[in-house]
Amino acid sequence: MARDEQLKERWESVVHKLSAQFADGDTLELDAVIYLIGVQELGQLHRKFKKDEKVNLMHIAICRLLEPFGYYEFDFFDDDGWPHYKVKEQLPPLKAGEQSVLMKEAIVQYFLEKEFID
């Protein structure tokens, strides 16, 4: 199977499973999946988040997702339990479509590691 086809199938599997679990069957968008990963990484699953915290959750997720690609490195947890990352390498300039593919690859890899999909 071609790499692009495998990514597409695995991405659809992630979206299908997460949508069924968190969106009453509505299809989750990429940003929503990133947000859910941020909540998972923070570990504070049953609380409400303010708008600025939601942005920070997405930042946590992006850092965590791109860590295996060498762009970020975990640094420390602050006193409130929020993880902090440091930049190891600047992301190259990417077009919107390229950003989307990179994030989908990273998300699929994340959920393979978590054994959420196979």
Residue 39 lies in a domain: yes
Residue 88 lies in a domain: yes
What pLDDT score was predicted for residue 25? 74
- Half-sphere exposure (Cβ direction) of 117: Cα atoms closer than 13 Å: 19
What pTM does this model have?
0.92
What pLDDT score was predicted for residue 4? 87
Nearest to 85 by CA among 98, 100, 70, 99: 70
Residue 87 lies in a domain: yes
Task: Count structural domains, the chain.
Answer: 1
| Cβ neighbours of residue 70 closer than 8 Å, sequence gap 6 or more | 88, 89
What pLDDT score was predicted for residue 5? 92
Residue 96 lies in a domain: yes
The helix/strand count (H/E) of the chain reads as 4, 2
Residue 62 lies in a domain: yes
Q: Domain range holding 84?
A: 3-113
Residue 118 lies in a domain: no
| Cβ neighbours of residue 69 closer than 8 Å, sequence gap 6 or more | 102, 106
Nearest to 30 by CA among 71, 61, 9: 61
Cα–Cα distance for residue pair 25/69, rounded to 1 Å: 31
Residue 104 lies in a domain: yes
What pLDDT score was predicted for residue 1? 63
Nearest to 59 by CA among 72, 76, 77, 78: 72
**Going residue by residue through the chain (118 aa), what tens digit of pLDDT does each one get?**
677 899 999 999 999 999 999 988 799 999 999 999 999 999 988 889 999 999 999 999 999 999 999 999 999 999 999 999 999 999 999 998 999 999 999 999 999 999 999 8
What pLDDT score was predicted for residue 111? 97
Residue 36 lies in a domain: yes
